[in-house]
Structure 1
Amino acid sequence: MEQIRQDNHKLFALLSSYLNHAPDLISEAEIGEIVQSGVSVEYAFKLLLAAKFGLDILENPGDKELFHHYFDPMIHLLDLGVYEQNPYYRNIRIPSVRIGSSELKYEGYKPYEGFVCNDILQTAEGRQIPQIGFFPAEFKYPAVLEQGRIWMTVTPNEIETMKEPITDAFGHVLTFGLGLGYYAYMVSEKDNVDRVTIVEINEDVIQLFQEHLLPQFKQAKKIQIVHADAFEYARTHLDQDSYDYVFTDLWHDVSDGIDLYLQMKQIERQHPGTRFSYWIEKSIQCYI
């Protein structure tokens, strides 16, 4: 187990540096050279990433083991068409507009740029395997920027990690965090969802959504937006109003999500009759 913990730590350190500082480290030309030897594009990406991490998977037994246990289940060549056919992508158009410090626009992944594409996979033996995806061509995704910094997005990661909370939602749904309205859009389209209440504290984000996105929702009549702090609302309204399903999405990633997740879990314990779910919960639990 100690060796597995060391492997987890080593891999996370390597990935953190890669994703934060050089996610476009691998080029199309490099991929093209390697696939000429007969390997797949996905495997070529794995080999290149391992080499750029300084791993010697031919001569070093430890590096070879690390590659075997992590890189195969970690790296994924994603299908552009699958995500372009997502209902939100098909039906919602994102204008380039700014309100206050918030800006609505499209951002993009470059060809072969790596990014987190799903929750961390935890194996029975304790290995924690991040899920890293890449596209073979440029991929555009909706985003909200705060003071020029990407804050909210609808990327493959959001699409994959929200599948279960979307499938499970029913009745009167309460969601903490608006973002670009992806979750609200998807659950509002469900026949077994009657109402969707969204609690959001950022007035600029609410205005962007109400003016430019909500009018495009076919089921806009199901949606109510409340300008409030999530925890204050949870403490004062969960007893007063009847909610069947609560989804919390208040964090940017695991690093800023743990404390908020634990706070909401305390509130959840006070409402055993309501179903709660949380964005990237599996990943957060790996750090608790």
Structure 2
Amino acid sequence: MKLANTKRINEKIREIAQTRQALDMLNAFVTNEVANSAIDPEMIQVMRQHSEEFYIKMDDSFKEKHTVEQVMMRLYIESLIDAYLPGQSKVITFFMNLIYPEFKIFDLNEFNNNPYIKNIDFHDKKQGDFELCYQSYMPYEFSIYDIPKHIDKLHIDIPRLGCFNNEFKYPCISQIGIDRIWMSVTPNEVYTVQPAIDNAKGKVLTLGCGMGYFAYMASLKEEVKSITIIELEQDVIDLFENSILPQFENKDKITVIKADAIEFMKDINDGEYDYCFADIWIGIDHIEPYFAVKEVCRHLRKTKVDYWMEDAFATLLTYNVWNEIIKSFSKINNLEVSNPNPDPSETDLRKEAFIHRLLKNVEISKPEDIDFYLTPKNIIKLINKSKLIF
């Protein structure tokens, strides 16, 4: 990457750096700490009363946009952040004004009436080391429900937090031998898979079976004629075919093939399927299979391919882009900067090397170029055009 040493570019970089330093720290705290917390049941009524007292003092325009529960959630999250970052009220208020519009109090009826959650029974079903079961979100237990909201120009990513105001039981699969929840249909699954469900049509291919949530929801659509599931793990196939698939209304649309997804994709013809949804990774820390599928799908033009959580992967990679910008900035200004990741994993090193190669011939000649390369959707476009192997 080549960076022009101009006043405007230097000002742009310093401005972004100043904003990111504080807000990245807050973001990490909210994602790792707040998202795994819940209001103590004994405190709920106290906080509700305090919020009602605050709410009643506000004008009608405020009351039209906010509920008492939303006020309660904001005050609670602010109190956690204030304890973590005392004396930084301006920074906290700025951050909360960004995170608050993304906060959701989930509609319990909406989730209980979700066709999969409502119609697929997970009681008392086992297959080998796996068991279908239910877990619960307790009232006001926070979780991340979607990929971060990218704020253009500021180049920060705001976590999307939500909670239920009553207990919500959701279906999941546990691995008995290690007493671990293997996968589940939580608000995060519902929100992040919905774009793929909306796009599914015709002959559909899905890489990865999981709990069959995508397959079930897509099979309800009239425009979906068939769904072929590619799954490598026999235990997963057995659990799905014996306990979940028999409950599908449109089970005749479903075909399961035991195969490695990457090897399978090498042999399909372009247009053989109308739509493909790839979901063979656990989350954004599992980026290698995402790239493996991207690379093997390069020849497809007639088949539309969607990748679960792709925007989240792109958001993650913008941090590597930022590091490339900082390296170039430091070099031309003879500055020393500390390594933001002094103990990188093998995956971290691969991401760093990939972005370095991806941006090798990029020239930053104006501030707007920085905006372009720090925007996640533009990273996806660059990856799609590239022939680089991760």
TM over 0.5: yes
| Structure-2 separation of matches of 1:170 and 1:5 | 41
| Structure-1 separation of matches of 2:39 and 2:138 | 10
Match in the other structure for 2:47: 34
Match in the other structure for 2:158: 129
Match in the other structure for 1:285: 314
Task: Name whichever of 8-17 and 154-163 sits farther off.
Answer: 8-17
Match in the other structure for 1:139: 168
2:146–2:188 CA contact under 8 A, matched in 1: yes
> Residue 247 of structure 1: which of 270, 277, 287 is its match?
277
Write 1 or 2 for the structure with the bigger share of helix: 2
> Residue 28 of structure 2: which of 7, 13, 30 is its match?
13
1:106–1:143 CA contact under 8 A, matched in 2: yes
| Structure-2 separation of matches of 1:159 and 1:59 | 35
Alignment of structure 1 residues 1-288 onto 2, 5 Å: 1-18=16-33, 23-37=36-50, 38=52, 39=55, 40-53=68-81, 54=83, 60-70=89-99, 72-125=100-153, 126-146=155-175, 147-236=178-267, 238-239=268-269, 242-256=272-286, 258-288=287-317
Task: Name whichever of 131-140 and 116-125 sits farther off.
Answer: 116-125
Q: How many Å apart are 1:59 and its aligned residue?
A: 6.3
| Structure-2 separation of matches of 1:82 and 1:226 | 33
Describe the superposition over 1:222-246 as per-residue Cα deviations: whole angstroms up to 9, x where unpaired: 100011111111123x238811100
Q: How many Å apart are 1:8 and its aligned residue?
A: 4.2
Q: Name the structure, 1 or 2, with higher relative contact order (CA <8 Å, separation 6+).
A: 2
Q: How many Å apart are 1:124 and its aligned residue?
A: 1.8
Write 1 or 2 for the structure with the bigger share of strand: 1
Task: Name whichever of 212-221 and 119-128 sits farther off.
Answer: 119-128
Other structure's SS at 1:160 match: helix
Where in structure 2 are there 5+ consecutive unaligned residues? 1-15, 56-67, 318-390
1:112–1:134 CA contact under 8 A, matched in 2: yes
Letter paired with 1:250: I
CA 1:55/1:44 → structure 2, altered by over 3 Å: closer, same or farther? farther
CA RMSD of aligned residues (A): 2.1
TM-score normalised according to structure 1 size: 0.91
TM-score normalised according to structure 2 size: 0.68
| Structure-2 separation of matches of 1:89 and 1:44 | 29
Other structure's SS at 1:255 match: coil
| Structure-2 separation of matches of 1:4 and 1:272 | 40
- Percent identity of the aligned residues? 33
Where in structure 1 are there 5+ consecutive unaligned residues? none
Other structure's SS at 1:254 match: coil
1:88–1:185 CA contact under 8 A, matched in 2: yes
